[in-house]
């Protein structure tokens, strides 16, 4: 029989609680002990006040109050030690539970990675990457070929074109120089004196005369 079995008087092996159950039990025990601490602290203050109240008037009652105060302080000290042990045990159990979950997660991830790599061959991966690189090179060559100018202008010598352009510019310059050397024809001079104005009365009124002739013709025709 194990030490824990002897301690609790159990001959058969009891089913171990889960980590979560054990942590919950420890927390409940901590709460009970904390309440017990608060109770003892109140009792200590009460016994202290009782000892002060009796003082020298009733030394026996004062001594009894101080004795009870001492017992409460001892119990309080024991609870402090017990709480420290329980707190340490709870934190260790929580850490162990966390580590267990982390290891389980890492184990699951390792199995998943192994399953993912099961259908992969490193040689095939290398071949695939080499093929991708080759196709990228071919695509780059095709792009370079498409972007290269083709057709008219590839076989033309740019030096000849520049020489022809300079020759045309020189001809234009020569023509301008020739035009500068020719004399400019003289235009007739404008007379300085003012021309005489014609009176408006001397201008024949052609339309009025024509109207009078037409009226005379109509009158002669009516008389005859």
Instruction: Give the helix/strand (H/E) hosting 46.
Output: helix 19-54
At 53 the pLDDT is 87
Q: What is the largest CA-CA distance in the chain?
A: 185
Mean of pLDDT values over 188-198: 55
Q: Is the pLDDT of residue 198 over 70?
A: no
> In this predicted model, which residue has the larger pLDDT, 197 or 72?
72
Contact 55, 27 (CB under 8 A): no
Cα–Cα nearest to 141, from 150, 133, 129: 133
For residues 59 and 44, give the distance between their C-alpha atoms in angstroms, rounded to a whole number. 18
Note the pLDDT tens digit of each residue in 2-55: 555 555 555 566 788 888 899 999 999 999 999 999 999 999 999 999 988 888
Which CA distances in Å does 142 have to 49, 138, 149, 152, 206?
A: 101, 6, 13, 21, 91
Which band of pLDDT confidence, cut at 50, 70 and 90, is reported for residue 150?
A: low
DSSP for 126-152, written as a single string: HHHHHHHHHHHHHHHHHHHHHHS--ST
Which band of pLDDT confidence, cut at 50, 70 and 90, is reported for residue 203?
A: very low
The mean predicted confidence, pLDDT, of the chain is 80
For residues 168 and 174, give the distance between their C-alpha atoms in angstroms, rounded to a whole number. 10
With a pLDDT cut of 70, the percent of the chain lying above it is: 71
Note the pLDDT tens digit of each residue in 69-114: 999 999 999 999 999 999 999 999 999 999 989 999 999 999 998 8
For residues 80 and 48, give the distance between their C-alpha atoms in angstroms, rounded to a whole number. 20
Name which of 3-7, 62-66, 193-197, 203-207 the model is least confident about: 203-207
At 74 the pLDDT is 95
Q: Is 43 exposed, middle or buried (0-12, 13-18, 19+ CB in 10 A)?
A: middle
At 128 the pLDDT is 85
For residues 101 and 94, give the distance between their C-alpha atoms in angstroms, rounded to a whole number. 11
């Amino acid at each position: 029989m194990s030490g824990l079995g002897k301690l609790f008087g159990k001959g058969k092996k009891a089913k171990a609680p889960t980590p979560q159950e054990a942590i919950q039990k420890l927390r409940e025990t901590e709460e009970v002990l904390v309440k017990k601490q608060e109770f003892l602290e109140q009792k200590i203050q009460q016994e202290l006040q009782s000892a002060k109240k009796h003082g020298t008037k009733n030394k026996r009652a004062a001594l009894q109050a101080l004795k009870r105060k001492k017992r409460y302080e001892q119990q309080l000290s024991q609870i402090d030690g017990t709480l420290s042990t329980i707190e340490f045990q709870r934190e260790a159990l929580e850490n162990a539970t966390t580590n267990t979950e982390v290891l389980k997660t890492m184990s699951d991830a390792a199995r998943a990675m192994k399953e993912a790599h099961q259908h992969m061959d490193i040689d095939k991966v290398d071949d695939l990457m080499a093929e991708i690189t080759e196709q990228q090179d071919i695509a780059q060559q095709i792009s370079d070929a498409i972007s290269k100018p083709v057709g008219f202008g590839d076989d033309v010598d740019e030096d000849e074109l520049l020489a022809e352009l300079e020759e045309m510019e020189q001809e234009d310059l020569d023509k301008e120089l020739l035009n500068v050397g020719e004399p400019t024809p003289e235009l007739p001079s404008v007379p300085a004196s003012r021309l005489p104005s014609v009176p408006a009365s001397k201008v024949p009124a052609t339309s009025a005369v024509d109207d009078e002739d037409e009226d005379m013709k109509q009158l002669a025709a009516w008389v005859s």
